[in-house]
Chain A
Amino acid sequence: MITVQNLSKSYGGFRAVDDVSFQCRPGSVTGFLGPNGAGKSTTMRIIAGLTIQDSGQAHVSGVRYQDIPNPGTQIGVLLDASAQHAGRSGREILTIGARTMGLPMSRVDEMLELVSLTPAEAKRKVRNYSLGMRQRLGIAHALLGDPKILMLDEPANGLDPAGIHWMRSLLREYANRGGTVLLSSHLLHEVQIIADELIVIGNGRIVAQGTKDELLQSAGTFVRAGDPAALTNALTAAGLTTNVSGEGLSVDATPEQVGQAAAAAGVALVELRPADGAGLEEMFLQLTAPNQRDQFPNGVPA
């Protein structure tokens, strides 16, 4: 369990982390979602004791990170897969980790096998690794000490779609065994595939958090009818807020409410579904838009 309470950290006048609080529970994969520079990495570095916060607290199962004895065996951390000595082989990096934690060398082979790095690849210098291979090595390193908690910063970055699905099943199984996972990403679709709880952060502040289902629900319903005007009237009459979305409407309500309103008005529907995927994406953009660096309120200048 990772608990963060009212965490704040400023660099000069810039508030990188602003009153952030959240909790990651055992048995679930928590996705920490936000655009680049939103404060995800700073928060994770504070949790791992590498950056000292200005105020607030970060605990791992009620203990400060600095007070965890042999932390590698209790919380696996991957903060940057590229932060490795380029002149070391993958196997050597795991060997150093295993020796530091006091583990048998057999763990190194087990982890290499788990992340599908072949013996030949493990012998190569990390300089020659692709980003995807570095991520696999980083995950192997995080899992080396068989920890109950995992904290991974942008672990899916550089993985191909197959790699992302591999990671999903790996972390899903890990969480099912009672493990706690916190992983960050700046890409919604990655988090959507891997995580079941979401924390959305923008400009250092948490802008939304909850289960993926909850956040999906709050994105509303997509509905389409043969007679759009009649549908709009029916929904407005039922007191629901509607927005034109493609050929249909996105409604700030559950599919059940929308269906009942349409049925009551006798409007035949062509399509009725939760506004998933695109809805969450819209939410992500919406939530982070005021905090985005590169926005063009007047359109992209010619």
Chain B
Amino acid sequence: MSTTTPATVDTSVRSVPVTRLVGVELRKMFDTRSGFWLMASIGIIALLATIGVIAFVPPESLSYGIFGSAFGVPMNILLPVVAILAVTSEWSQRTGLVTFTLVPHRGAVVLSKFLAVIAAGVMAMLVVLAVGALGNLVGSGIRGVSPQWDLSLEDFLLLLLGNVLSMLIGFMLGILIRNSAAAIVAYFVYSFVVPTIFGVLSALPATKDWFGDIQPWIDVNSAIGQLFDQPTAKDWAHLLVSSIPWFFLPMGLGIWRVLRAEVK
């Protein structure tokens, strides 16, 4: 037993690298019962959707693209919830007390979560699309048609991007609201209620003229939707511009608050 170990702080040791934190944050998405089943449900739902497509889609229309679009809605709901919980559990479950004590640079934690969410989204989509590919092969075999591979690499990447973007919206809402239930509700308002309101505005005779013109520039949901339908340069511009009020500004506000808020 050394008698006089000086209790000093060594400022020369390496601080916690972000690469390590991304690994830890990814692990934290899977290592709870709820996290595990949420991730498992992505695979399970992909399987059910695949079976549904094989059973109900007429054989002549069976194609890989059909499987891809069958996953669209469930993934649009599940993946953002994964992202939301990755952020909000630090507050709802109060684990932030430990997380931000081990890594006092909150910006590094937020960045790691951001990267982990993207990684999880990409991995989930790869699993889902692999299930779809398998479904396409098996389904075509069962229905006696030759498998149609109508998804180009570009389509594939856009599908990936679209789903990751909806996940990032969940991430943003998590950062902004920091409460699991409220952030999930906010996500549903954001991606289902707001588009309905916009749809009404663009259809009403009183508003459709002026609103129809500006809608593409302020409707981030429709801008993301355009990604799945041969986006043009203008569509990309719509996405970028509409993301400013719907993503970048609230994200900035949320991060600003996370960096300053008291962790209790």
Contact = CB atoms under 8 A, between A and B. Distances in A.
A178 B3 contact: yes
B230 interface: no
Given A70-B13, A96-B31, A101-B16, A180 B7 contact: yes
Contact of A96 (B10, B28, B101): B28
A77 B99 CA distance: 11
Contact of A177 (B2, B21, B100): B2
Contacts, number: 128
B61 interface: no
B262 A148 contact: no
Interface string B4-21: 111111111111100011
B16 A50 contact: no
Contact of B93 (A52, A85, A92, A96): A85
A70 B27 CA distance: 19
Chain A interface size band reads 35 or more
Given A84-B98, A100-B21, A60 B32 contact: no
Interface stretch (B42-50, B102-110, B200-208): B102-110
Contacts of B101: 48-50, 71-72, 77, 79
B24 interface: yes
B93 A178 contact: no
Given A50-B97, A100-B103, A101-B102, A149 B16 contact: no
Given A83-B95, A84-B95, A178-B2, A52 B105 contact: no
Contacts of A86: 93
B24 A96 contact: yes
Contacts of A71: 101-102, 104
B263 A45 contact: yes
Interface of A: 1, 26, 45, 48-52, 60-63, 65-75, 77, 79-80, 82-88, 92, 96-97, 99-102, 125, 141, 148-149, 176-180
Interface of B: 1-16, 20-21, 23-24, 27-28, 31-35, 89, 93-95, 97-98, 100-105, 260, 262-264
17 contacts: A26-B6, A48-B101, A51-B262, A51-B263, A63-B9, A68-B104, A69-B14, A71-B101, A74-B9, A74-B10, A77-B101, A83-B93, A88-B31, A88-B32, A100-B103, A177-B1, A179-B7
